Structures are given as C-alpha cells and as structure tokens.
Amino acid sequence: MVGATNQLIRTFISVLFFVSLSFQSKAQESDYHGFKCLDFKFEGHDAKIVFPAKAEEQRHWIWRARFWGHEPQTEIALLKKGFHVVYVDAAEYCGNSDAVMLWNHFYDFLLKEYNLNPKVVLEGFSRGGLYVYNWGSENAGKVACIYADAPVCDLRSWPGGKGKGVGSPADWKQHLAMYNQTEETINDFKGMPIYNSRKLAEAGVPVLHVCGAADDVVPIDENTYALEKTYKEAGGNIKIIVKEGIGHHPHSLKDPAPIVRFILSNTNPGLLDESEPVESKMSVSFRGNLDNCRIKFEKEKKGRVAFLGGSITYNPGWRDMVCEYLKNRFPSTEFEFISAGIPSLGSTPGAMRFSRDILSKGTIDLLFEEAAVNDATNGFKPERQLRGMEGIIHQALASNPFMDIVILHFVDQDKMADYNKGKTPEVIIQHEKVAEYYNVPSINLAKEVNDRILNGEFTWRDDFKNLHPSPFGQNIYFRTLRYFFETSWKDPINGPQKSKLLPDRTLDPFSYVNGYFYPLKNAKLSDGWKYIKNWKPADKVSTRSGFADVPILEASRPGAMMKLKFSGKAIGVFVTSGPDAGIIEYSIDGVDFKAVDQFTQWSTQLHLPWLIMLDDELQDGKHTLILRIAKDKNPAGIGNVCRIHQFAVN
C-alpha cells in the first residue's frame, strides 16, 4: 500500500513538472520598463508576470486588475524594491463571480509556481475596483493591502449613471447581465464594493484610494466616499488622496512615492526610505534677506510689523502665531503690530489703501502681504494682479528703503487644480514677477499645501477644510513661516541696515505706485446723488468691519449723474455692492459711456466692499469722470443703487 502511495506521489510530481515545462515553453519573454516579463495563457486568458532584478526576501507582489501598463509608475517603483507584478485579463467578466473564480485559480498557480507571498497587494484602476474588492472580500486573509485609483465601487454610479456620473449605457447593459441583475434588483444587490468591502475592513486590510475631485465618470462622492463610510463603520483603515481639479484621468500620481510608501508600510517596512523632512515640501524663495528688521529689533528694541491682505490675514490664526513668535524670539523688543487685513480685498485695493492703512501708522520694519486668493477669485486680470502687487511693493520701499517684505501665496482649490494640471496659477506668476524684480522673498503656501496633500500627509476635506484654513491649516502656514524665519536668521549678522534701491523703472508703466484714495468731497453731485455722513444698511444684510457708520455718496435713480475732476493714470470707485447694487455708466474725458455691473456673486449675502477700476491706462494728466446710474440692473439684484466709499486714483 505504501509503495502504491509513493508511486502516486511520484506520478503527481512528474505531472506538475511536465505542466511547468509546458507552461515555460509556451510563455513568451518581453520587456516591461527594463524588467523581464513572461506573457502566457492561463485558462485561455492572457496573463503576465514581471520579475524584479532581485526578488525581496518575502517575495511580495502586486496584482494589477485591469488596464495593463497604464500609469505604471507605482509598479516600476515596486519592481525596483524587489516586488513581482502580475496580471490576468478577465475583462469579459466585469469583476463578477467568474472573475473571482479565475483569480482564485491564478492566485493558487502563482503561489505554487513562483512561491510568491501568500498575501498580495491589489491594484485596481477604475472598473478594476470591482475586481480587487469582489475578489478581496472573498479572500480577505490573502490581501496585504489595496491601492485603488478612481475605483468603481457602486455599479449604479458607473456604468449605471444613476447619480452625478455620465454613465455608459452599453457597459451598464453588460454589467447587469454579468451580475445577473436588472434595473430593479440592482438596488438590493450587495455584491458591490460599497457593501462587500466591509469584510476587508473587519479583517483589518488597509486601503488607499487616489481620486480626482472633478471625476464625472466615477464620481468620488458616489464611489470612494460611499465606500469610505462603509469601511470606517466596520472599523477599517482607509486613506484617500484627492487631486483637486482632476477628473477620471490621469490616474495615479506623477510621483508615486506616497503610494509606494503605503504599500511598503503594509508589506515590508524595512524597504522604506527614510521619511522626507516636512521642509522638503515647503516652497520658500529666499530672495534678499530679513537682516534689516532683525537689526532694528535687536539693536533698537523696537519694531513695527504690518500685515496687509484679505480675510486670511484679517481672521485669527497664522498672523497671531507670527506675532507671538516674534515676541518670543525678541523678548526685549517692544512691538507694534498693524493688522490691515480686510476680507474680500486683493492687491489693487491694497495699493490704493496702502498709504491710509499702512504708511499712516509710522515707519514699517517688516511687511507681510498676501493677495493671491482674492486677486484670482475676484476676477482681476493678470495685468491688474501685477499692477496692484507692484504698487504695494514700490510704495513700501519708497516710504522706507530699509523695510523687509514677505509676499505670501495662500491656497485655494482653484490653485490646487492648476498645479495638478501642471500649471502655475496665473496670479502667482504675476505676483512672482514683482517679487523677483524687487528681490523680495516669497512663500508659496498654495504649492506646499497641494504637494503635501498629494504626499498623503493630510487632506483638504478633513484637515485643511477651506481656503479660510482650519486651526490645523493655520498651523501649517505658521510652521512654514517659522521655518522661513529660523532659516533666514540662523547666522549672526554684522554691520548696519542696508538700503534697498528702487529700480529705475517699474515693471508696468501703469502699476499703482502712486495709488491713493481721493476724497468724496471732490465730486460735483447733481440731483439724485446725496452725501451720507454715517451710512449703515437699512436691510438686515451684513457689512464688512469698517464699512458701516462711514461717509458715502449714494444714488439710486436712473440717470442720476456726478462729475469728478482728477489727475493721474487711473480712476476707480470703491463701492459697497449689496443686494440692491445696480449698473453704473461712466465716461472719461467725453468719450462714449461704458457700463459696468456692480453686482457680484456674493452681493445677495453681503454689502461687499468692491473696487471697480474704470480705467487704469490713461495718459498721465488731468481728466474728468462723469458717472451716472443706468436704467438696467442685474437680474439677480433688487435695485439700481450705487454707494461710493472712496474714489481710487493712481
């Protein structure tokens, strides 16, 4: 009996050896980005195995579900670490139970034939999400971790198109058939990732999703965020990296380091490179230095520091932290801090109010200026973004050539979207031209925040939350500023302050280097206009701080006209644009009237301070402005009112 058993074993081994030789003889060798790849048939399906130059000791591997070779940067990085990469084409099964069965067989084959690790890394792009979750939920003990990229998690979203997504009717019909479902029964079907992922969560399988926030093919809300809810409710560990402004494509990350780091952390942490220091993601341009203000703080024991910007400067947060840092760094120095942030205002109004809100306070030693968010969201054209910023910097240095200045670029989702599309935001291009021309340091927090989100350090949705940063986000801003200070001031300094010479000419001849507010009393009013000494809104709509109980000029009757004589290259009106703000018409030096709408997308919610530059490319000299109330109004507005706080002249 024993002899018969031994004979059976020898026969079985011979059969396996024959099968192995047969497989090897039929496999074709190809190149996969410099690595050996075997291409062969497995149960009638195209299959591939890519071999590392040297396999890591634990013989880990990553299994691509669909779209072989697309955005392969993660696989290439893992091959360099000694991972194997595998694939079997089961496209016709749409990730259903037949696909799961084929994968079961392929898994067994790979372990027996190549002695791969019993725990696999699953990689699912797009509809590949159906495969990794449907197979993984039936084999949770065999899964080390899952990396899913814009994955389909709910068939009703894609290909069904039953929510926000565009859907795919042909694929919808195919998937319903492959899953033995109908339009009606699919609503009760639990064999989809948003449901069956619970098994993986309960088994402790970590998951990483990389998705585009603007995906209209596989919308993130209906797929990844829906699966996240299931996963977290079941106690699972899921991490999501969201690419602002990106749709379904491109998949993956240009730099796959965060994905590779996630995979190695859950397979072989010993292969991890040392973590990058946070400073490596900071985008600081160390132009010039901050020696002048430091000398003033240390030697004279006095310092005046000003903060000019919009709501992110006005609100508590980074500004307060900087003030505390400076007081702690220079404990014997008596500081005066000037907070000149006004919500909604960018660099053009900043240049016009600079003498009133900054220079009138005395000699400034250190100035922080930010306008990148409002200059972009308020729709200022590129040339005005430059003219406003140059106007501020030029006025600052003209007032005090020893002044140190720091330009800040804060983050919003539009800027993140630009960076994710490989573009530098236009407003940052324009502001950086000024920074470079005047040798002023700048800190690009927009780029840093986006880079660190892509690096998987934190998220916009849960951590940063808004362009008005959460306390977490404010601390990100402050940490970078602290790094900037400590790097700038790490060495001892000798000698006196050094004057900063203004260039012979400005970047733009129309920059607002002589911008200021022109008194209301200079206007000649006709019937329909009136001067109000202490205006406050009669409705219940709110105002910005400093824009109520102040003088204004007001008119609401169509045809009401005023005249203003002024000298300079530019003229604008600083208005309050509330729910009743109408259209105004203007003529300069007798040319034909032009119309401009004061109403903005925010006007229904707020009596918004809004600077309208009527013309900023005038011949330098004397001019006459005629302004009148138009008959027409914005369809969303409720009146024809114009309320002028200031005239802006350059």
Peptide bond into 579 cis (omega under 30): no
- Which strands make up the sheet holding 442-444, listed edge to edge? 284-285, 442-444, 404-409, 366-370, 302-309, 334-341
Instruction: From residue 392, give the alpha-carbon distance in Å to each of 397, 411, 422, 508, 549.
Output: 9, 21, 29, 13, 27
Instruction: Mark whether 333 and 222 lie in a shared domain.
Output: no
Helix, coil or strand: residue 298: helix
pLDDT at 196 over 70: yes
Instruction: Mark whether 473 and 585 lie in a shared domain.
Output: no
Instruction: Mark whether 287 and 364 lie in a shared domain.
Output: yes
Question: Of 316, 311, 321, 306, which Cα lies nearest the Cα of 354?
Answer: 306
Is there a domain that residue 226 lies in? yes
> How many angstroms separate the CA atoms of 249 and 239, rounded?
20
Q: Please count the other Cβ atoms lying within 10 Å of the Cβ belonging to residue 213.
A: 19
Is there a domain that residue 496 lies in? no
In the structure encoding, which two tokens stand for residue 450, read together?
Answer: 């986006």
Instruction: Mark whether 436 and 335 lie in a shared domain.
Output: yes
Name residue 369's beta-bridge partners: 308, 407
Residue at which a domain ends, from 249, 269, 289: 269
Helix, coil or strand: residue 3: helix
Question: Of 192, 243, 202, 236, which Cα lies nearest the Cα of 220?
Answer: 243
Compute the average pLDDT of residues 515-535.
95
pTM for the model: 0.92
- Spell out the residues 6+ positions from residue 474 whose beta carbon is closer than 8 angstroms to its own: 317, 318, 321
**pLDDT digits 0-9 by tens, 243-279:** 999 999 999 999 999 999 999 999 999 999 877 787 8
**Residue 511 falls in which region: left (phi positive, over 0), alpha (psi -120 to 50) or beta:** beta
Count of alpha carbons within 13 angstroms of residue 65, beta-carbon side:
29
The helix (H) or strand (E) run that includes residue 325 is helix 318-329
The helix (H) or strand (E) run that includes residue 280 is none
602 and 565 Cβ atoms separated by less than 8 Å:
no
Instruction: Mark whether 313 and 424 lie in a shared domain.
Output: yes
pLDDT at 119 over 60: yes
> How many angstroms separate the CA atoms of 230 and 490, rounded?
50
Instruction: Mark whether 381 and 414 lie in a shared domain.
Output: yes
Tell whether the torsion through CA atoms of 23, 24, 28 and 33 is positive or negative.
positive
> What pLDDT does residue 15 have?
40
> What pLDDT does residue 182 have?
97
Residue 247: exposed, middle, or buried by beta-carbon count in 10 A (0-12, 13-18, 19+)?
A: middle
> How many angstroms separate the CA atoms of 41 and 48, rounded?
8
pLDDT at 580 over 80: yes
> What pLDDT does residue 17 have?
36
Provide the pLDDT confidence category of residue 280 given band limits of 50, 70 and 90: confident
> What pLDDT does residue 521 have?
95
pLDDT at 58 over 90: yes
> How many angstroms separate the CA atoms of 452 and 599, rounded?
37
Instruction: Mark whether 333 and 264 lie in a shared domain.
Output: no
> What pLDDT does residue 495 have?
86
Instruction: Mark whether 187 and 228 lie in a shared domain.
Output: yes
76 and 33 Cβ atoms separated by less than 8 Å:
yes
| Domain CATH code at residue 549 | 2.60.120.260
Residue at which a domain ends, from 468, 488, 508: 488
Amino acid at 444: N
Is there a domain that residue 479 lies in? yes
Packed helices 347-357 and 382-399: angle between N→C axes, nearest 10 degrees: 20
> How many angstroms separate the CA atoms of 121 and 237, rounded?
15
Compute the average pLDDT of residues 303-328.
97
pLDDT at 9 over 80: no
> What pLDDT does residue 18 have?
39
The conformation of residue 384, written as its DSSP 8-state character, comes to: H
Count of alpha carbons within 13 angstroms of residue 94, beta-carbon side:
19
Is there a domain that residue 612 lies in? yes
Percent of the chain with pLDDT over 70: 96
> How many angstroms separate the CA atoms of 123 and 209, rounded?
10
> What pLDDT does residue 142 have?
98
Helix, coil or strand: residue 596: strand
Instruction: Mark whether 549 and 577 lie in a shared domain.
Output: yes
> What pLDDT does residue 11 have?
41
| Domain CATH code at residue 69 | 3.40.50.1820
pLDDT at 199 over 90: yes
> How many angstroms separate the CA atoms of 607 and 645, rounded?
12
**pLDDT digits 0-9 by tens, 613-622:** 999 999 999 9
Higher pLDDT, 467 or 9: 467
- Which strands make up the sheet holding 143-149, listed edge to edge? 28-32, 35-42, 45-50, 84-88, 61-64, 120-125, 143-149, 207-212, 238-243
**pLDDT digits 0-9 by tens, 380-439:** 999 999 999 999 999 999 999 999 999 999 999 999 999 999 999 999 999 999 999 999
> What pLDDT does residue 623 have?
98
Provide the pLDDT confidence category of residue 540 given band limits of 50, 70 and 90: confident
Is there a domain that residue 14 lies in? no
Instruction: Mark whether 228 and 301 lie in a shared domain.
Output: no
Q: Domain tally for the chain?
A: 3
> What pLDDT does residue 278 have?
79
> How many angstroms separate the CA atoms of 416 and 650, rounded?
33
Dihedral pair phi/psi, residue 612, rounded to 5°: -110, 110
In the structure encoding, which two tokens stand for residue 593, read together?
Answer: 């009237």
**Stretch among 18-27, 84-93, 133-142, 223-232 having the lowest mean pLDDT:** 18-27
| Domain CATH code at residue 431 | 3.40.50.1110
Instruction: From residue 621, give the alpha-carbon distance in Å to each of 395, 493, 624, 649.
Output: 20, 46, 10, 12
Mean pLDDT, the chain, whole residue set: 94
pLDDT at 4 over 70: no
Is there a domain that residue 5 lies in? no
Three-point CA angle 599, 603, 607, nearest 5°: 110
Question: Of 434, 359, 342, 358, which Cα lies nearest the Cα of 389?
Answer: 434
> What pLDDT does residue 57 have?
95
pLDDT at 553 over 90: yes
> What pLDDT does residue 460 have?
97
Higher pLDDT, 11 or 81: 81
Question: Of 152, 145, 137, 171, which Cα lies nearest the Cα of 66?
Answer: 152
> How many angstroms separate the CA atoms of 239 and 416, rounded?
19
Q: How far is CA 142 from the centre of its chain?
A: 36
> What pLDDT does residue 22 have?
45
Instruction: Mark whether 134 and 79 lie in a shared domain.
Output: yes
Instruction: Mark whether 532 and 558 lie in a shared domain.
Output: yes
Is there a domain that residue 187 lies in? yes
Give start and end residues of each alpha helix (H) in 218-265.
224-233, 257-265
Helix, coil or strand: residue 568: strand
pLDDT at 24 over 60: no
In the structure encoding, which two tokens stand for residue 229, read together?
Answer: 């809810």
In the structure encoding, which two tokens stand for residue 238, read together?
Answer: 């899921």
Instruction: From residue 270, give the alpha-carbon distance in Å to each of 189, 264, 563.
Output: 41, 8, 76
**pLDDT digits 0-9 by tens, 504-521:** 999 999 999 999 999 999
**pLDDT digits 0-9 by tens, 422-466:** 999 999 999 999 999 999 999 999 999 999 999 999 999 999 999
Three-point CA angle 43, 267, 238, nearest 5°: 95
Domain that holds residue 250: 32-269
> How many angstroms separate the CA atoms of 298 and 403, rounded?
15
153 and 194 Cβ atoms separated by less than 8 Å:
yes
Is there a domain that residue 461 lies in? yes
Q: Please count the other Cβ atoms lying within 10 Å of the Cβ belonging to residue 64.
A: 25
> How many angstroms separate the CA atoms of 27 and 424, rounded?
47
Compute the average pLDDT of residues 152-178.
97
Residue at which a domain ends, from 229, 244, 269: 269
